[in-house]
A and B are shown apart, each in its own frame.
Chain A
C-alpha cells in the first residue's frame, strides 16, 4: 500500500504513453509542494517582529539532525520563529490540507458539488462539543477540554447520522445527507441556546466557532498530526475507487468495486481528519468546498491528482489566510474564516468566469 502511494507520485516509466494532461498535473503537483514549503517559511518570517527570510531558513535547517549552522542569532528571534510562529503555520497548513481533502472526498462520495466537510454534522457536533467544553464548571482546564469535546462531538454526530441513514447493509447517500442536515440543525439549535445562556463566556465560544489559530503550540500540532496524516493517506489510497464511484454506484459495482466498503472507509477517514482539524481551531469555512473545485477547474476531476493537489493547495490557502488574519490589523486578529472567504472567493469567481464549461 505504501508502495502504490509512492508510485502514484512518481512519473511512470511509461510516461510517454500517458495523456499529456497527466504530466501537466504531475508538474503542477511538484510546483504546489515547493510552493507550500516556501509559503510556510515566508509566513514564519512575517509578523510583529520581522525576521528575514534567510534567517528563518537557518533556524529551520538548524533544527534538522546533522545540520549545525551555528550562526550568531538572538535567541528571542529563534523563539518567535520556532516556538510561536512555526507551530501556528504548521497547524494552519495541516488543517487546510485536511479540510480540502475532506471536502474533495465528500464531494466525490456524495457526487454533489455542494458537499463540504461539514455536510453530515461534523461542524455542528464539534460546535456543540466545544460549547459544552467552554461551559463546564472546570474553568481552569477549558483550553484542554474544548478540543477533546469538539473532536468527540464531531465523531458522535457523524456516528448518529450514519446509524440513522444505514439501511441493512447499504448506506443510501441521499438519506445520509438528509439525516446529516437534520441532525445538524438540531445540534445547532442546542448550541445557539447554550451560547445565549452562556453570559460572560460568549466571546470565547464565538471566537472558536469562527475559527482561530492564535493559541497554537507544538502540543496541538503533535495531537492532530497522526489523525490527519493517516486519514489523508487512506483517502489518497482510495483515489481510484473514488474515481469509479463518480460514475454511479451500480456501474462501480459492475466494474468490480465493493462500493459499501469504499464508502465506509472514505467516510471514516474524511470524518476523522475533519474532526481533528476543527478540534483546536474551530470550524473554518470555505476551504473545504472551494479548494477542490478550483483544482478540478484547473487540472480536471481525476482524484489521483485532485486529492494530492487539493492537499497542498488547501495548506497554502489556509497559511496565507491565517498570516493575513494576524497581520492586517495587528496586534488585533481577525477570525481566519473571514479571511478564507475574502481571499478565496474572488479567486474562485475568477476561475468560474474563465472556464465556462461544466464545472463538476
Chain B
C-alpha cells in the first residue's frame, strides 16, 4: 500500500533549526493532525515535505522512493498543498483557479484538454464549488475561497494532501464544512492526509492520529486520547485547561480556564 514516510527529517531557516529528527509514517485514509503551539513548526513541516525549504538532514519517502530528487512537477503530481490563507488573485474566476491544479500534468507549454476540464469540473462538484465556477475570486467569501483551494488540490490528483490551518479565520459553520469535506475526501479517495490545526477540539474530533510538536521534536503522538490531556497541554502550551470526554463520542474536549496561564510571557518563546 502507498505510504508517506518521513525519516529523521530536520528543517530550519538560516542558522535556526526549527524541527529536529522528525520521523512519521502516514497511510491512506488516515487523517493525521499536526498540533502544537505557535512557532512549533507546523507550517515548516508542511513546507519541508514539499521541499519549499531544503532539508538539513533525513529523507522523505513516497511509496518507498525518496522524493528528494523529484522534479517540481513530479512532486506536485504526488503531493498537493492547501496553504494557510492561500493568496488567490481577485480577477481570476474560481474555475480558472481550480484549473491551475492541472499544471503538473500539463507541463509549461501544453494546454488543457477535454480530460483536464472534466477533472476540474469534478473536483468542483465534489467540493461544491461548481456553482461558483464563473464567479471572480474577489467576490467569494473566505470559506468559499478555501473550498476553491481544496478543489484545486484535488484537480492535481495527488496521492498526498497537506493542509495548513484550513479553518483559520473561518466561522464555525465553515470550520465544520471544510473539515467534513477533507475527511470525506481522505476516506473516499484514499488520500494520505496531513493537516496542521491549532484548534485542539477540531483536531481531536477529526483526526484519528495526532502529532504534537514541541521544541522542535515530536513531543507526543497517538490517538487524541493519548495525546490530549490536561497535563500535556500544561507542559507544552503553559496553559491550565480542563480536558473532559466529549458528551457524544468520548473524544477529549479541551476547555479553557480564564487566568490559567502557568508561565509568564517571557518564558513562552518559540525555540531558537
- A19, A240, A254, A300: the one contacting B50 at CB < 8 Å is A254
- B75, B90, B100, B110: the one contacting A358 at CB < 8 Å is B90
Stretch at the interface among B79-87, B165-173, B214-222: B79-87
Within the assembled complex, what's the spacing in Å between the Cα atoms of A14 and B113? 8
Shortest C-beta distance, A281 to chain B (Å), equals: 32
Chain B residues lying within 8 Å of A241, measured Cβ to Cβ, are 108
- A4, A21, A257, A358: the one contacting B111 at CB < 8 Å is A4
Chain A residues lying within 8 Å of B138, measured Cβ to Cβ, are 357-358
A residues apposed to B, CB below 8 Å: 1, 4, 7-8, 12-14, 17-19, 21, 111, 237-238, 240-241, 243-244, 246-248, 250-251, 253-258, 262, 296, 300-302, 304, 357-360
Within the assembled complex, what's the spacing in Å between the Cα atoms of A14 and B87? 31
Q: A302-B96, A357-B136 are in contact. Are A4 and B109 (CB under 8 A)?
A: yes
- In contact, B111 and A246 (Cβ under 8 angstroms): no
Within the assembled complex, what's the spacing in Å between the Cα atoms of A250 and B108? 17
Chain B positions 85-134 with a Cβ under 8 Å from a chain A Cβ: 86-93, 95-97, 100-101, 103-104, 106, 108-111, 113-114, 117-118, 133-134
Beyond A4-B111, A240-B108: 6 further Cβ-contacts under 8 Å? A243-B92, A251-B87, A253-B52, A256-B103, A301-B91, A358-B138
Chain A residues lying within 8 Å of B103, measured Cβ to Cβ, are 240, 244, 255-257
Q: List 12 A-B contacts (CB under 8 A).
A: A8-B111, A13-B114, A14-B113, A17-B114, A238-B108, A246-B89, A247-B87, A247-B89, A251-B83, A255-B156, A296-B91, A304-B111
Within the assembled complex, what's the spacing in Å between the Cα atoms of A141 and B89? 50
- B87, B95, B106: the one contacting A248 at CB < 8 Å is B87
Range for the number of chain B residues in contact with chain A: 35 or more
Q: A4-B111, A247-B86 are in contact. Are A255 and B104 (CB under 8 A)?
A: yes
- In contact, B86 and A240 (Cβ under 8 angstroms): no
Within the assembled complex, what's the spacing in Å between the Cα atoms of A18 and B73? 24
Shortest C-beta distance, B198 to chain A (Å), equals: 20
User: At the interface, yes or no: B4 with Cβ under 8 Å from chain A?
Assistant: no
Chain B residues lying within 8 Å of A254, measured Cβ to Cβ, are 50, 52, 76, 79-81, 83
Which residue of chain A has the shortest Cβ distance to B115 in the bound complex?
A14
Which residue of chain B has the shortest Cβ distance to A245 in the bound complex?
B89
- In contact, A301 and B89 (Cβ under 8 angstroms): yes
Which residue of chain A has the shortest Cβ distance to B156 in the bound complex?
A255
Which residue of chain A has the shortest Cβ distance to B46 in the bound complex?
A254
User: At the interface, yes or no: B159 with Cβ under 8 Å from chain A?
Assistant: no
Chain B residues lying within 8 Å of A243, measured Cβ to Cβ, are 92, 96, 100
Chain A residues lying within 8 Å of B52, measured Cβ to Cβ, are 250, 253-254
Which residue of chain B has the shortest Cβ distance to A259 in the bound complex?
B72
User: At the interface, yes or no: B77 with Cβ under 8 Å from chain A?
Assistant: yes
Within the assembled complex, what's the spacing in Å between the Cα atoms of A357 and B93? 13
Shortest C-beta distance, A267 to chain B (Å), equals: 16
Chain B residues lying within 8 Å of A14, measured Cβ to Cβ, are 113-114, 117
Within the assembled complex, what's the spacing in Å between the Cα atoms of A338 and B109? 39
- In contact, A4 and B110 (Cβ under 8 angstroms): yes
Q: B206-239, CB under 8 A of A: which get 1 and which 0?
A: 0000000000000000000000000000000000
- In contact, B75 and A360 (Cβ under 8 angstroms): no
